[in-house]
Amino acid sequence: MLKIEHLGIAVKDLAVSIQLYEQLLNTPCYKKEIVATEGVSTAFFSTGDSKIELLEATNENSPIAKFLAKKGEGIHHVAFEVENIEAEMKRLAAHGFELLNEKPKDGADNKLVCFLHPKTTNGVLIELCQEKK
């Protein structure tokens, strides 16, 4: 793992939360994106070498909608940047970590992503991400 790439924060209202985080971080949102396959609308902020990703559900069946219904707004996941996502997935699976997808999938911010089940990571949803080339 190279670094913490971003923290994902589930929010109910992206527009309101963008204003809040622009004030909190004293920096503008640099990118908004919809990831239709995940049923999520995202907004990104740079914070030094890492980022903050705000996530709003675009439909009631999305993972973010389910998270918000169960836990409310807050930290949803920690994303780690990796050089070779497929090799890292194989390494972690060999150590007993449960992968939520069998192969990398397209994510926001020009990334390939894979999630690890929280039951194998002390209750934290972990995202592996690699810049698309």
- Residue by residue, pLDDT tens for the chain (133 residues) are 889 999 999 999 999 999 999 999 999 999 999 999 999 999 999 999 999 999 999 999 999 999 999 999 999 999 999 999 999 999 999 999 999 999 999 999 999 999 999 999 999 999 999 999 8
pLDDT given at position 133: 85
Specify the pairing of strand 50-57 against strand 40-47: antiparallel
pLDDT given at position 1: 83
- Any residues with CB less than 8 A from the CB of 18 and at least 6 apart, and which? 29, 32, 43, 54
Q: Which two tokens stand for residue 115?
A: 């999630």
Alpha-carbon torsion 97, 63, 73, 10, what sign?
positive
